[in-house]
Amino acid sequence: MSKYAIIKHSGKQYKVSEGEFLKLDRFEAEPKSQVEVTEVLALGGDETKVGAPFVSGAKVVLEVVNLGKDKKIVIYKKRRRKDSKLKRGFRRQFTRVKVVSIQG
């Protein structure tokens, strides 16, 4: 069974395994730099460890690949027979990272 971890980053939880790419909410970091996440909620694999709330001594090392923006999401609200409409757009900014190693 492959090793995985459940991490907490900017108020959200992600299940990650080594070599995986994921998009996190934008945080300031240079591309090709490494970031350590120590808020590990659980470790899995041959033996499962669950933290209370975090697993002590565990960390996940992430490598920043790039920064970017997602596709635009269009929000459109219309109320019938009221000549009332609202159109807004939103583009989420993200940081793409690669999971280098899971330690713990």
Q: Can you give the pLDDT at residue 91?
A: 97
Percent of the chain beyond pLDDT 90? 88
Contact (Cβ atoms closer than 8 angstroms) between residue 22 and residue 63 = no
Which residues are registered as beta bridge partners of 102? 60
> Which positions ≥6 away from 54 have C-beta within 8 Å?
38, 39, 40, 41
On the question of pLDDT at 1 being above 90, the answer is no
Owning domain of residue 57: 4-103
The pLDDT tens digits of the residues spanning 18-53 come to 999 999 999 999 999 999 999 999 999 888 999 899
On the question of pLDDT at 87 being above 70, the answer is yes
Q: Can you give the pLDDT at residue 104?
A: 80
- Our count of domains for the chain comes to 1
Confidence of residue 2 (pLDDT cuts 50, 70, 90): confident
What pTM value is reported for the model? Answer: 0.81
